[in-house]
A and B are shown apart, each in its own frame.
Chain A
Amino acid sequence: MKPLDLSLVLKDAPAGEWIALSFDQTRIMGHGETVDDAVNAAKLAGEDRPVLLKMPLPNVGIAAQTSHP
């Protein structure tokens, strides 16, 4: 199956920040340290239905285990 590749859309996305994409996921409409920061920036840019993701750090893997201590 062809993967969904957002690399080009996200090429200028600040690593480690929340990114608000346009609803059609073709442009970055806002970004920030928190979800709210990204959404507010997107709204100021005219996007009322942003799609959110957190931009990973480049060349840094993730290990996502979370469990009871």
Chain B
Amino acid sequence: MRYPYTRLGPSVPLRPYLKIVLRNGSATTPVIYGLVDSGADYSIFPSDIARTYLKLDLTTATPWHFQGTTGRPQIALLATVEVNILNEAGTANDFQFSAQIGFCDDFKFGGGVLLGQNGFMSEFKTTFNQRENFFEIEPFQMSLLQRT
């Protein structure tokens, strides 16, 4: 499946975003633009998304220690949720799968939320074509991924 790069401002470069929705049972997030980032070990979201929208209890979640470009150690709590990747118009699911996501209290990354190696690139062969302003994702295991 092919997706266009997205420009958020005249002085902001084109970047590879996907529109996604996370679900935990009947609890769901709004549609969120997630930045595809091969440098992130896990997908990372702010913790308030887990608590407010997904109704997740993170008290027993596995902590994941990580550091960004500042080198400052941070902690995210890993929880398994359903990830829905929406079509370009944001009106229907292209893919749906289960993944471990890191939820972090002090994650204030300028690009918003990240779709990283574990839980995203572990599920899709991801190919960037920056010159032609698109990227493609192809599921490794069709049986685990549904287009609904």
Contact = CB atoms under 8 A, between A and B. Distances in A.
Interface residues of B, number: 48
Interface stretch (B6-14, B77-85, B119-127, B138-146): B6-14
Contacts of A64: 35, 37, 39-40, 68-69, 109, 111, 114
Nearest to A54: B112
Interface in A1-31: 1-7, 10-11, 13, 16, 18, 20, 23, 25
A60 B8 CA distance: 13
A51 B113 CA distance: 13
Nearest to A57: B110
A41 interface: no
Contacts of A44: none
Given A51-B31, A69-B65, A59 B134 contact: no
14 contacts: A1-B2, A11-B9, A20-B30, A35-B46, A35-B52, A35-B53, A49-B31, A52-B31, A56-B110, A58-B12, A62-B111, A64-B37, A64-B68, A69-B65
